[in-house]
Amino acid sequence: MRYAYPLLFLAFMALLASSCEHDSVQLVSADLFDKDWYYNRQPESSGFRTYVLNPVPNRGIDGFRLETGGVFILHTNAPNDVALDIPGTWTTTDGEKFHVKLSNPLYDEFDLLINSLTTNSLQGKKIM
């Protein structure tokens, strides 16, 4: 019993250290930036949309671009169904959630949460 408390303390510290190491892993990667990501119109999983690098033909434009310098571009359709790009800015503190502010005052600020990222697709969710 005399050694139980020190061993328990060491186990707790090891667990704490491993959780801190996990929290520091960020999704920020060169694969995310300076690319145009388009919603692929597939069924969503847990509210996350899947975005790919090429727009789905005849499905409208719905996507975004994060540039390394903090510029955000929202890809959407104008009222006359032509492509419309709305510029804005982004910031992040953890590399998973990006706060977006568009320059058009008709659009509210929102957070973009990135769930997973590969070289040619990502899962993201817009949080108002």
> Could you report the per-residue pLDDT of 85-119, keeping only the tens digit for each?
999 999 998 989 999 999 999 999 999 999 999 99
Asked whether residue 13 carries a pLDDT value surpassing 80, the answer given is no
Neighbouring residues of 105: CB distance < 8 A, sequence distance ≥ 6? none
- Does 71 or 16 have the greater pLDDT score? 71
Residue written as tokens 């769930």? 115
- What DSSP letter does each residue of 75-119 carry, written as one string? EEE-TTSSEEEEEEEEEESSSSEEEEEESSTTS--EEEEEEEE-S
Q: What is the pLDDT of residue 106?
A: 93
State the pTM of this model.
Answer: 0.75
Q: What is the pLDDT of residue 45?
A: 75
Q: What is the pLDDT of residue 127?
A: 94
Residues in the chain: 128
Q: What is the pLDDT of residues 23-70, one digit of tens each?
A: 433 456 889 999 999 999 888 878 899 999 988 777 778 999 999 999
Q: What is the pLDDT of residue 57?
A: 79
- Does 12 or 33 have the greater pLDDT score? 33
- Domains of the chain in sequence order: 26-127 (2.40.128.280)
Q: Residue 10 — very low, low, confident or very high, per pLDDT cuts 50/70/90?
A: very low
65 CB burial (10 A radius; 0-12, 13-18, 19+): middle
**Which 8-state DSSP code applies to residue 59?**
S
Q: What angle do CA 85, 98, 44 make, to 5 degrees?
A: 75
Distance CA 2, CA 72 (A): 59
